[in-house]
Structure 1
Amino acid sequence: MKHRFLTWFSILVVAFALAGCSGNDEASGDNGEDGVTIKFHTWINDEVGNWDEVIAAFEKEHPGINVETIPLVENMSNDDYLKKLDLLASSGEQLDVFMFANSLDLSKRVSAGLVAPIDSFVEEEGLNVEEEYNNTYAPINGSYYGLPAKLTTNLVLLNKDHLDAAGLEIPTDWTWNDYKEYAKKLTKGEGTEKTYGSYFHTWPDTYLILKLLGKSKNINIINEDGSSNMDDPLLKETLKLRYEMEQEDKTSVPLSATLSQKLDYRQQFFSQSASMIPTASYMITEWGEFTPDFTMAWAPWPKNKEDGPSYARMGGDIMSIAKNSEHKEEAYKFIRWFTTEGIKIQNISIPSWTKTDLNEVVDNLISTTPKPEAIHKESLLYTLKNSEASEVFVPQPFLSEAYSEFNAEAEMYLLGEQDLETTISNAKKKVQAIIDNNK
């Protein structure tokens, strides 16, 4: 009896051990005969991302690789997504593929050891990343940590009906002085019925550096080498432009109203409360809950001087592989496919892939909108084709901290609580302190 008991006990131990191994395989994505399952985390929900169709197409072309799409948030908030992604990573959750909205978000996670380099896969394929994709982000310490997905181009979105009523042409080559004059001519009415010529939102890395973004390089408050760019006179000029438009000319929605009423740039534009908004090409399709009952026109990012090319910041989503992924080869196949064929099937944005037919893509994007006739296609194509990309580099991981300090000082100036010289002086010292603390 004792030997029989030990025999059955041994069988149970072996059975539990095998069950444990099976569970570990499933958790890591190994489904035996069904192939490998990789987990793909994103902030883009199923409704917007069209993920069912995209993943079905990938799995058909790549039998043996299954993709589990996990939108971490339903509200499409990139900030909320990053918080949840960081929590998953810190808890040791198995990750495979994830998206980043920009190179700064990527840079922070590379520094934190979350992202795997893809150099070995790139070299094995013989891929020239800069030829294959529009150059929307640069290598980090000489290595690639992802592939560009969509391409966004800075531009100005305008209400063409308002332009027509004011006798203004759609701009094709203009400066910030022209923008300022347009705003004066587009501003109408008083009180709650007032239509402002312009609206600037609250993102400091866009709306506090409007003129910096029209340069060919050094378009952030911290340079690629980690040095301060706060002495660039275009920073002061940007704040002065905004103050004059918001406080003196009263042709742009004042920051005080934006903050106190929690205004949103989509609401301001689509409700026709503002006629012009500096934004980016994602607005071709990302209208939110709004459908315009007017025609949307597009113009290049305004230049700082009349002569010279029209530069624009270009960027976009980046597909990366988790450092702790146990299926990096399968993950690479997925991000390589998605950033070429897959993003075309998704059909919600302009791909970074250089082999894309821009005219075809724009036609397809417009056709998916609730009101295709609302988009002035001629001005959109002109703007996209005639915008020259600013030099790109991976920002320092502490750049967002620097922008927070700059924003605090700039807000006091734009609200009339502090003069311009004091604002620049204080902001310069605070940004330098952040740089020094991170050396």
Structure 2
Amino acid sequence: MKKFRSLIFTTLAATIVLAGCSTDDSSSTVEVPSDGYTGKLVISIHNQLNNPAIVEGINALAVTDKWKNVEMEIIPQDVEYPTTMPIKIMGGTSIDVIYNFNPIEFEKNASNGILTNLDQHAKELGVDLEARYGSNLASSTYQDSVYGIPGGYTAWGLFYNKSIFDAANIPYPDIDTPMTWSEYRELAAKLTSGQGANKTYGTLHLDWPMYWYGEAIMELGGGQHFYNEEGLSNIEHPAFRNALEQAYKMQNVDKSTPTQSDLIARKIEPDGFFAGQYAMYPHGTWFFNWLADEESYPRDYEIGFAPLPIPDGTTQHQNWGVCASFAVPVTSSNSLMATDFCIDLVEYATRYSPIEAYADLSVAPEKLYATIHEDIPDEGMTAENVQKVFFHPEQINLAEKVTGPNAAKYETVIDEEVEMYLAGAQDIDATIANIKKRGDKVIQD
């Protein structure tokens, strides 16, 4: 099996003396020097250092004529990255490239004034961002200006452990026909067995919010429907109540997935599915990274995958996802060069990655996951099947996150109140009432 190379650069955690940001009001196209750029790039992209496509991309670019004379300092991963990275930039630390995990993080960083406006740099580099990135550019746009380079569109599917299905003599989920959410819950309960350390759960839901609200946003049409027509909290909609109640039932009545308390006490991480005690696992396309790395994530069973469940009463394929972005902080010592590097890195990953999709999905969908079968040996792990499940030509793609004014603060309110409900600290009525009251307040702040 192909093994991905590690970064060839030395990773450093040095704090750089603040340097002034470069500015250029010229609208003419910049010519890259014939012998390439010179200087230094400080790159802080956290867990993207686990993404083989990005690691391969940085390595490949580093030896090209354009980038070979640029020193690349890679900042190590930091578990507190969403908090510490903005603080460093606000404190004046010179960083050239960062990563926004999702549109909420992007909006928070852009509104805090720590990201460079890339409109002028794109003109100078002769790059039409809208033509190149299509609809995904919206996730990198703030107040009608571009502040990031789209770099990582995600989609979700239903992964499953074939050995648990075999032991229970239950057929695998259909790769062509999605089950409904009701059917999914029933199947999860049926696949649950045993007690204590020997327990097998029918599915694994993390404490990530989409594990409870996914069904609701499918029914309503995306994360923007966390807001009502007046632009205030829409949490009182019956779809959200039903989704919350079903999540509680799975944890505390059917016991088909770990409870909120279990998730915290046992510190179940996103790679917890590899423990082998969960039959199913709704998760995103980045899961393929781990499947391809059997050295870090060993397993003695085959994994299959199927479409995400869909709302009762429909046959329409639906999926949710977000588009992450690379961005240039205002403390960059050469923001034009950093912008060009982000564009080149994303371009590399678009051409060669079997792992994730980076550009507009409509541009060249046949290239997505084109070599996935070379990296994952499981039966059925073909480019055709991956595209069918995650990028079905007839599926509806929904915004995964809370999408609207003050989304980050509003999502925090939702998470805090829902955690109390799932842990049994308050009932459903109090939870919805608290989210409505607190949510309306932060939305209008």
Q: TM-score, normalised by structure 2?
A: 0.79
Q: Aligned with 1:408: secondary structure?
A: helix
Amino acid at match of 2:358: P
1:92 aligns with 92
Q: What is the 5 A alignment of 1:139-178? A: 139-164=141-166, 165-171=168-174, 172-178=177-183
Query: How far, CA to CA, are the matches of 1:136 and 1:179 in structure 2?
Result: 34
2:202 aligns with 197
The answer (yes or no) to whether the contact 2:322–2:401 under 8 Å persists in 1 is no
The answer (yes or no) to whether the contact 1:65–1:330 under 8 Å persists in 2 is no
1:238 aligns with 2:243: yes
1:11 aligns with none
Amino acid at match of 1:243: Y
The answer (yes or no) to whether the contact 1:97–1:322 under 8 Å persists in 2 is yes
The answer (yes or no) to whether the contact 1:158–1:275 under 8 Å persists in 2 is yes
Query: How far, CA to CA, are the matches of 1:137 and 1:89 in structure 2?
Result: 24
Query: How far, CA to CA, are the matches of 1:354 and 1:278 in structure 2?
Result: 21
1:211 aligns with 215
* CA deviation string 1:359-418 (max 9, x = no partner): 65525345345xx22664364332122143115899457433333332332233323343
Query: How far, CA to CA, are the matches of 2:185 and 2:145 in structure 1?
Result: 42
Larger Rg: 1
The answer (yes or no) to whether the contact 2:19–2:331 under 8 Å persists in 1 is no
1:419 aligns with 2:427: yes
Amino acid at match of 2:387: L
Amino acid at match of 1:54: G
Query: How far, CA to CA, are the matches of 1:319 and 1:235 in structure 2?
Result: 32
1:328 aligns with 2:335: yes
Amino acid at match of 2:198: E
The answer (yes or no) to whether the contact 1:208–1:407 under 8 Å persists in 2 is no
1:383 aligns with 389
Amino acid at match of 1:275: A
Query: How far, CA to CA, are the matches of 2:93 and 2:245 in structure 1?
Result: 48
2:290 aligns with 286
Q: Quickly say closer, same or farther: Cα 1:207–1:400, change in 2 above 3 A.
A: farther
The answer (yes or no) to whether the contact 1:154–1:301 under 8 Å persists in 2 is yes
Gaps of 5+ in 2: 1-15, 23-34
The correspondence for 1:299, drawn from 279, 302, 306, is 306
1:261 aligns with 266
Q: Aligned with 1:274: secondary structure?
A: coil
Gaps of 5+ in 1: 1-22
Query: How far, CA to CA, are the matches of 2:299 and 2:229 in structure 1?
Result: 40
Amino acid at match of 1:142: D
Query: How far, CA to CA, are the matches of 1:266 and 1:247 in structure 2?
Result: 23
Amino acid at match of 1:88: K
The answer (yes or no) to whether the contact 2:41–2:97 under 8 Å persists in 1 is yes
1:3 aligns with none
Offset of residue 420 of structure 1 = 1.6
Query: How far, CA to CA, are the matches of 1:362 and 1:390 in structure 2?
Result: 21
Offset of residue 282 of structure 1 = 0.8
RMSD: 3.6
Q: Quickly say closer, same or farther: Cα 1:411–1:429, change in 2 above 3 A.
A: same
1:276 aligns with 280
Q: TM-score, normalised by structure 1?
A: 0.79
* CA deviation string 1:245-273 (max 9, x = no partner): 22222222222322222223422x21222
